[in-house]
Structure 1
């Protein structure tokens, strides 16, 4: 017998209609937040960033592919990773199919990582994806947008991530607060073929850019839990009877790893 609240259809309908009022308010608030994002001041980018792409050496302007807007997903795939981050991979499963729609609405899209291009493309083939993926190896792009960090920052200085100063990250594995064999970060690090500190030197995020009158501007970036909004499995799980149901921690794997023990 379930311990969850039960009721008649009429009781359910009354509760559902009451919830609908809150959902509509949430939608209206979401619309207002979207407008505030679009009203942020634009910051001109004068620095020259270079990327390695399937078409060869590219500038940031080249990543626009003739569009006026560019969305970048900062995919956690560091130079020492043997495979991409499982969480970023689950997010990529959701955005892989929408690229064509964005491109036909004047919005280019690309993922950017610091791993060599050959490694990125090999992993993309394994996952069955087709979105553009650029390597920022040798570029300061990931560092400037606060999704990659040096070992020195990690060990001695602390990092700036998600618009706040975070303490040194390398301590986590040594102190046992994170990085034990059962922790989420230790499991994900192992899934990328790295140790926890190496895994932590990359972080997820997304950034938006616009090109106007020959100039490129940075317009928006989001990190951390901000990725929930573009992680397509979560809106579905939030509507499932048991929600995200993550009391035991992260449960997901790469889509080709389910059922493998």
Structure 2
């Protein structure tokens, strides 16, 4: 069920009832199945919580009007924020930590963007998507070619204040990652939502991250016995 709003019109069965499955896999013990079913009930509750949060996000009141139609340098020439929407009424932007002060881009951002590049043809059916970095556009494109990205649309914000205005630059001028969503209606562009979880909201012993986590890498590792680990991060090359 894709639309969380539909769940409000139905009485949901208790998660524990849905999770009461018989033995399913070769050699599993009764102890394993009891523990697995208890975990399955929690996974069902987590799915329901994700749906509730998504519905609450969609119901946000109108966000602030964007103060200016920022001008960026794109791969095919200059482009304004409003032009990035194309035919869509929603624009997602990701600020890539590859500013002019960096010799190489952030490995974590790069890992995330590599995953999104494969999904981008599907994403672009629903919304517009722009990857923004503060380095000159030629430098951004050179790394795109090195990495083999095919579908990401890159823009340089080196000549505007977009990074500073939308939380992708700290007071010292260092670039930070940022995920923002904008909407356009009647010619008016508004800010809809931003990822605002970070170091100040992180729980003890955990890396700062949002929820749901947008990185497929961590989603996969969270399903394994070793989890994410505490001493490993993606690299630009292996």
In structure 1, distance between residues paired with 2:190 and 2:69: 13
Unaligned runs of 5+ in 2: 1-26, 199-208
Partner residue of 2:223 out of 236, 239, 242: 239
Residue 80 of structure 2: aligned partner: 59
Q: Does 1:25 align with 2:25?
A: no
Q: Could you say what the CA RMSD is over the residues aligned between the two structures, in angstroms?
A: 1.7
In structure 2, distance between residues paired with 1:71 and 1:245: 30
In structure 2, distance between residues paired with 1:61 and 1:40: 21
In structure 2, distance between residues paired with 1:76 and 1:232: 19
Residue 120 of structure 1: aligned partner: 140
Q: Does 1:142 align with 2:163?
A: yes
Q: Does 1:75 align with 2:96?
A: yes
**Cα separation, partners in 2 of 1:228 and 1:27, compared to 1, 3 Å:** closer
1:195-252 Cα deviation digits (max 9, x unpaired): xxx8xx1111200011111111100011431277111100000001211122xx3332
Residue 46 of structure 1 and its aligned partner are, at CA, apart by 3.5
3-state DSSP of counterpart to 1:229: coil
- For residues 92-241 of structure 1, the aligned pairs below 5 Å read 92-105=113-126, 107-130=127-150, 131-149=152-170, 153-154=171-172, 201-223=174-196, 224=198, 225-226=209-210, 229-241=213-225
How many residues end up aligned between the 2 structures?
199
Residue 89 of structure 1: aligned partner: 110
Higher fraction of helix: 1
1:66-105 Cα deviation digits (max 9, x unpaired): 2111111111011122221111011111111111112112
**1:228 touches 1:234 (CA, 8 Å); kept in 2?**
no
**1:209 touches 1:217 (CA, 8 Å); kept in 2?**
yes
**1:205 touches 1:227 (CA, 8 Å); kept in 2?**
no
Residue 191 of structure 1: aligned partner: none
**TM-score between the two structures when normalised by the length of structure 1:** 0.72
**1:49 touches 1:139 (CA, 8 Å); kept in 2?**
yes
3-state DSSP of counterpart to 2:195: strand
Residue 9 of structure 1 and its aligned partner are, at CA, apart by 2.2
Residue 253 of structure 1: aligned partner: 235
In structure 1, distance between residues paired with 2:93 and 2:114: 15
In structure 2, distance between residues paired with 1:109 and 1:231: 16
Residue 8 of structure 1 and its aligned partner are, at CA, apart by 4.9
**Cα separation, partners in 2 of 1:243 and 1:57, compared to 1, 3 Å:** same
3-state DSSP of counterpart to 1:45: coil
**1:75 touches 1:111 (CA, 8 Å); kept in 2?**
yes
3-state DSSP of counterpart to 1:43: coil
